[in-house]
Amino acid sequence: MNRKSLREQIFKLLFRMEFNDPAEMEEQVQLFFDSGDLTVTEKDRDYITGKCIKIVEKIPEIDSLLDEKLEGWKISRLPKVDLTILRLGTYEILYDEDVPTGVAINEAVELGKKFGEDGSGAFINGVLAGVTGKERSARPASAGDAPAEGKDPRSGSVSERKGETYITRRI
């Protein structure tokens, strides 16, 4: 499975958490993989499950940060799809050093467009753009991170911030 497909499966498994007791999650994980809708290797299964567990462990911190960044919204009032995508995107921005910030935002926006309501992609983009300001203090910059603004010769992309929107374009 490619990273995009793995991320989508992580989203789907995290989304189940919104409707199930944490004590039932082991059973839900088993049902998720045994449903017959998905064929994954053992390596992919371990990756999906492992990343979900890591995200769940950080939910209190992630939700606290999201509460700070949401203007006129509360976590409890967000659509469950958007909340799940925001948690995944925030985790990738702050804690997953294998995922560049621009990729985390772009992939979260795409998930919002695919699974969310009209306008979810733009909403997710705006919130995660606010989270990126926190990113710099949450983890040290690594050589693989794209600069916040400007040309990144390694990836052939240009990143820029326009108001509350973070945009990465291929060049």
How many whole angstroms separate alpha carbon 113 and alpha carbon 36?
Answer: 25
What is the model's pLDDT at position 3? 92
What is the model's pLDDT at position 24? 83
One digit per residue, the tens of pLDDT, for the chain of length 171 reads 899 999 999 999 999 988 888 788 888 888 888 877 778 899 999 999 999 999 999 999 999 999 999 988 889 899 999 999 999 999 999 999 999 999 999 999 999 999 999 999 999 999 999 998 754 444 444 444 444 444 444 444 444 555 555 455 544
Domain boundaries, the chain: 3-170
What are the φ and ψ backbone dihedral angles of 40, each rounded to 5 degrees? -130, 155
| CB contact set of 158 (below 8 Å; sequence gap of 6+) | 150, 151, 152, 168, 169, 171
Three-class secondary structure of residue 158 per DSSP: strand
Helix/strand number for the chain, H first, E second: 6, 3
Taking alpha carbons only, the member of 111, 43, 120 closest to residue 79 is 120
CATH 1.10.940.10 at 3-170, yes or no: yes
What is the model's pLDDT at position 64? 94
**Is the Cβ–Cβ distance between 8 and 108 less than 8 Å?**
no
